[in-house]
């Protein structure tokens, strides 16, 4: 168990993870400085902690605090190369991410799930499969609940299903999941990583502390995920929707099956999977692989999959207006996610694209746009940059706001077609997060729906 009492900690980042870390440390007699570059947008909990024994450093970081600490604990999203963290490391101070620190207090089983796209859906679904099979499991990590929040209720019987971002994996040292899942790797966060190889290596750190008795789950259909097969120490299992695998999950005669140690078990027919898109079928295959390793029977898995409604802002049907369906995929925050979202529909898509560019290669979408898009609406700060990369492979309009984007898409879409928000960008040009962007899209679409209903009543 990691010592806390009497030690000096700097917690970097005063968001949910930073607050949870601070509360945990205080309860165990640690001395805490909570440091954040912001002064606005902080929760009331931060001020409440400041009225206790916590020293708040807001509006910037004091390098002296960092180099005089016993431990510097970093919240997800805070770059590990900012000057005060570099100075702390140079001074010999231990620097860990929240995941690394929290894992040192856990006795339960850990399933770690990472990938460029699909992490949240796979994490949530995997947890549902486990609880549906009678196991004590909780979903946490990048999904929303900091792992450290669950340490208070730790037990050897609990399974932690932890969504892990590349940022979180940068901050590990000994973190070792019993089951590590890598869904896929595609270009993302080019505004943070100098090159794609660095981003891929950050994802691959999920395997670096595993041992032969642990399990690594890789996507056979994704070259970058499968490419780790030769490098991991754990026993490898694969999932694939394109070919058969001997250990893992795949498709057989129209059904999802799990295979392990020479036996094959049917989970459910593919047409009973309630989620839209081939990428979600991959997420299901990954989840059943992990659940099978935990002993969940196929019948329980099937029931949980059928009941799974998906997560908000992931190809979520908002409304059908005038025979046009409106889908919210605000979580598609990179080009690869937009491509997968487009691939979920056979054609006739009016795509809303744009936001804050993360350095994406939008030109790679041109063949798919020509094949499946009926129109394109470019919105937000990145609209001109995206337009310069892709030209006009389909009829295109440029707008500034979500309101204008929804109106433009409505005007471009014909009955039987789809309006799809899959921005391929971060939301931070106009919103606090992708959830707020998705909520705005929902509200604008539902306003159209109400206007349409009122017009019909008037007619």
CA-based nearest residue to 281, from 230, 331, 315, 234: 315
Catalytic residue flag (residue 334): no
d(CA 124, CA 312): 12
pLDDT of residue 454: 44
157-183 pLDDT per residue, tens: 999 999 999 999 999 999 999 999 999
Mean of the per-residue pLDDT values of the chain: 95
Handedness of CA 333, 339, 342, 348 (dihedral sign): positive
Please tell me whether residue 318 adopts helix, strand or coil conformation: strand
Active-site residue (options: 119, 203, 313, 358): 119
- The domains of the chain, with CATH numbers, are 8-97 (3.40.50.720), 106-307 (3.40.1190.10), 316-458 (3.90.190.20)
Q: Specify the 3-state DSSP secondary structure of 26.
A: helix
pLDDT higher for 459 or 148? Answer: 148
Range with the poorest average pLDDT among 19-23, 202-206, 415-419, 448-452:
448-452
pLDDT exceeds 90 at position 144: no
SS3 assignment, position 295: coil
Q: DSSP per residue over 69-129, as a string? A: -SEEEE-TTS-TTSHHHHHHHHTT-EEEEHHHHHHTT--SEEEEEE-SSSHHHHHHHHHHH
Active-site residue identified among 61, 117, 184, 189: 189
- Give the pLDDT of residue 458: 45
The model carries a pTM of 0.90
- Residue-wise DSSP of 139-194: EEETTSS-HHHHGGG--TTEEEEEE--HHHHHT-SS---SEEEE-------TTT-S
Residue 381 annotated among the catalytic residues of the structure: no
* Of the candidates 231, 233, 238, 182, the residue with the CA atom closest to the CA atom of residue 210: 233
> pLDDT grade, residue 457 (50/70/90)?
very low
Task: Note if 313 is an active site residue.
Answer: no
């Amino acid at each position: 168990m990691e010592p806390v009492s009497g030690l000096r900690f700097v917690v970097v980042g005063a968001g949910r993870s930073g607050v949870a870390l601070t509360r945990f440390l205080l309860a165990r007699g640690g001395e805490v400085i909570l440091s954040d570059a912001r002064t606005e947008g902080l929760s009331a909990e931060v001020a409440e902690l400041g009225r206790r024994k916590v020293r708040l450093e807001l509006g910037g970081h004091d390098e002296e605090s960092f180099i005089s600490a016993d431990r510097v604990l970093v919240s997800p999203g805070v770059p590990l190369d900012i000057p005060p963290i570099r100075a702390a490391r140079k001074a010999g101070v231990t620097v860990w991410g929240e995941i690394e620190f929290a894992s040192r207090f856990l006795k339960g089983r850990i399933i770690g799930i990472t990938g460029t796209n699909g992490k949240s859906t796979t994490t949530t679904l995997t947890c549902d499969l486990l609880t549906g099979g009678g196991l004590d499991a909780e979903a946490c990590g990048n999904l929303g609940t900091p792992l450290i929040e669950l340490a208070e209720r730790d037990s050897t019987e609990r399974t932690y299903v932890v969504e892990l971002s590349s940022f979180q994996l940068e901050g590990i040292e000994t973190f070792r999941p019993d089951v590590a899942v890598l869904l896929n790797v595609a270009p993302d966060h080019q505004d943070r990583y100098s090159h794609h190889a660095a981003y891929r290596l950050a994802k691959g750190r999920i395997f670096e502390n595993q041992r032969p008795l642990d399990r690594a789950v890789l996507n056979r259909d994704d070259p970058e995920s499968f490419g780790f097969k030769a490098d991991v120490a754990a026993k490898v299992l694969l999932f694939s929707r394109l070919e058969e695998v001997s250990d893992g999950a795949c498709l057989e005669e129209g059904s999802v099956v799990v295979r392990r140690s020479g036996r094959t078990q049917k989970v459910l027919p593919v047409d009973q999977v309630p989620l839209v898109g081939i990428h979600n079928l991959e997420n299901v295959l990954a989840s059943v692989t992990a659940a099978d390793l935990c002993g969940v029977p196929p019948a329980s898995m099937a029931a949980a999959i059928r009941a799974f409604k998906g997560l908000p802002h992931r190809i979520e049907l908002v409304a059908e207006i005038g025979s046009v369906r409106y889908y919210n995929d605000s979580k598609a925050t990179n080009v690869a996610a937009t491509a997968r979202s487009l691939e979920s529909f056979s054609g006739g898509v009016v795509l809303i694209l744009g936001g804050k560019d993360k350095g994406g290669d939008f030109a790679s979408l041109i063949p798919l746009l020509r094949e499946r898009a009926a129109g394109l609406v470019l919105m937000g700060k990145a609209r001109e940059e995206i337009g310069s990369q892709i030209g006009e492979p389909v009829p295109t309009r440029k707008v500034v706001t979500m309101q204008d984007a929804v109106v433009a898409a409505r005007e471009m879409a014909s009955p039987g077609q789809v309006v799809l928000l899959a921005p391929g960008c971060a939301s931070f040009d106009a919103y606090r997060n992708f959830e707020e962007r998705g909520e705005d899209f929902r509200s604008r679409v539902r306003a159209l729906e109400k206007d349409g209903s009122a017009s019909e009543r008037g007619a």
